[in-house]
Structure 1
Amino acid sequence: MPEAVFFDLDGTLADTAPDLADALNRLKSENGLEPSPLSRLRPQVSNGVRGMLGVGFGITPDAPPYPELAQRFLHLYAARLCIETRLFSGMDGVLARLEEEGIPWGVVTNKAERFAYPLIDALGLSTRCACVIGGDTAARPKPFADPLLHACITIGKNPRDCVYIGDDIRDIHAGKAAGMRTVAAAYGYLGTSPPITTWEADAVIERPLDLLSFLDIH
């Protein structure tokens, strides 16, 4: 069994898409635009502000309106951070089993600390997780290994004895770069990445509870 397990946040640990989509659609409403369906926005959640504004407004970060829209989007999201956000079905059971086995778990996300910390707190996980590493915690975010190595230093574990699970190819690249075993979450957002079968993760799981089988926890 691993010494520690680290989870990506959006699309892996928790389904944050409804609240992010709500923020985007409130922003679109402020700008006289019709809302976008959740089904269209959901795959872009792992791409953060760039992905959400890209699909919602059809703009890229080099467009003149982008900075102001991005700032307003984040303001709207922060105001309603955890209204519809929930752990994925079965995830609480996974966390409980890890805790029963004495395996610490943490969160390593590209979400900025100012959103990641209060969201983890709102989900009732602050006293349970060993660490929360945001996209601005380490020198470089995923797909670089920096955040995962920072997580290992924080809780005193060797990366080679740890597992990282995520729903984006950047998660797998980061995990491999850190020397961890990697698990791809097929139930997540997946974004516009190549097919999940090409990510070269050590395992692909269809639901959170499948992680326990991979970890040989029964």
Structure 2
Amino acid sequence: MLKAVLFDLDGTLLDTAADFARVLNSLLAEHQRPLQDYQAVRECVSSGARAVLALGFELAPESAEFAALLEEFLDRYAASLSEQTTLFPGMDQQLRNLEERGIAWGIVTNKPSRFTEPLLRQLQLDKRCATTICPDHVNNRKPHPEPIYLACKNLDIRPAEAVYVGDHRRDIDAGRNAGMKTIACRYGYIPSGDNIADWQADAIIDHAEQLEAALLRF
């Protein structure tokens, strides 16, 4: 019996790309650099803030200027996490459906708790979410299964009693490595040229509204 659904955060549960693009472009404008197209930013959000910053400034993360720019970028992002961030269309109803069925839902993300926890509070999701696992809660981040194992421990369930939902290959790898069924989100932040069918998820959904039907397959 399905007892829980675990979600990746950026690009799966929440549409955060507009805030990343906004913060990046504010920093680029201040440094008199060309602004970045929203779609280009969207495609690299799942790879984290370093990838977004590298896109805008065309700098390698090991370059001398990168660390200071990253700190400024993260500070700006932390100060305005949810100006444009929302649940993906249809996702709130999907969460309510799970809650009505008595199925817990949680988050397993590579986004640090410094950003994840206040963001969930601002969107009034923190009380609804049964567990939230960030990389600073574990020794190994996704695609290692440790974060998923910790989420299952917090929920007092076995991995086989849960499904992991994500929009990146490492999400699907993490779920499979933990021994649970997986759902890949084609609506998420998938880089052009990445074939979602190659990830070997147990199901693929094109819209959040399709989640309930996909879960019924397991």
TM-score interval (norm. to shorter): over 0.9
Q: 1:74 to 1:193 in 2, by over 3 A?
A: farther
Please give the TM-score of this superposition, normalised by the length of structure 1: 0.96
Q: 2:85, 2:23 → 1: CA distance?
A: 12
Aligned partner of 2:160 in structure 1 is: 160
Name the amino acid aligned to 2:162: C
Aligned partner of 1:101 in structure 2 is: 101
Name the amino acid aligned to 2:85: T
Aligned partner of 2:18 in structure 1 is: 18
Indicate conservation of the 8 Å contact 1:183/1:203, yes or no: yes
3-state DSSP class of the match of 1:22?
helix
Q: 2:206, 2:92 → 1: CA distance?
A: 16
Q: 2:41, 2:212 → 1: CA distance?
A: 30
Aligned partner of 1:194 in structure 2 is: 194
Aligned partner of 1:3 in structure 2 is: 3
Q: 1:13 to 1:201 in 2, by over 3 A?
A: same
**1:144-155 correspondence runs (5 A):** 144-155=144-155
Higher deviation after alignment, 187-196 or 154-163: 187-196
Unaligned stretches of 5+ residues in structure 2: none
**1:111-130 correspondence runs (5 A):** 111-130=111-130
Q: 1:81, 1:65 → 2: CA distance?
A: 24
Q: Following TM superposition, by how much is the alpha carbon of 1:192 offset from its aligned partner in structure 2, in angstroms? A: 5.8
Runs of 4 or more consecutive aligned structure 1 residues displaced over 6 Å after TM superposition: none
Q: Following TM superposition, by how much is the alpha carbon of 1:189 offset from its aligned partner in structure 2, in angstroms? A: 0.4
Indicate conservation of the 8 Å contact 1:36/1:56, yes or no: yes
Higher deviation after alignment, 74-83 or 30-39: 30-39
Name the amino acid aligned to 1:199: W
Name the amino acid aligned to 1:118: P
Q: 1:171, 1:70 → 2: CA distance?
A: 24
Name the amino acid aligned to 1:169: R
Q: Following TM superposition, by how much is the alpha carbon of 1:191 offset from its aligned partner in structure 2, in angstroms? A: 2.9
Q: 2:117, 2:179 → 1: CA distance?
A: 26
Q: 1:30, 1:68 → 2: CA distance?
A: 14
| Root mean square deviation, CA, Å | 1.3
Q: 2:71, 2:184 → 1: CA distance?
A: 31
Q: 2:129, 2:98 → 1: CA distance?
A: 11
Aligned partner of 1:133 in structure 2 is: 133
3-state DSSP class of the match of 1:92?
helix
Indicate conservation of the 8 Å contact 1:9/1:108, yes or no: yes
Q: Following TM superposition, by how much is the alpha carbon of 1:127 offset from its aligned partner in structure 2, in angstroms? A: 0.9
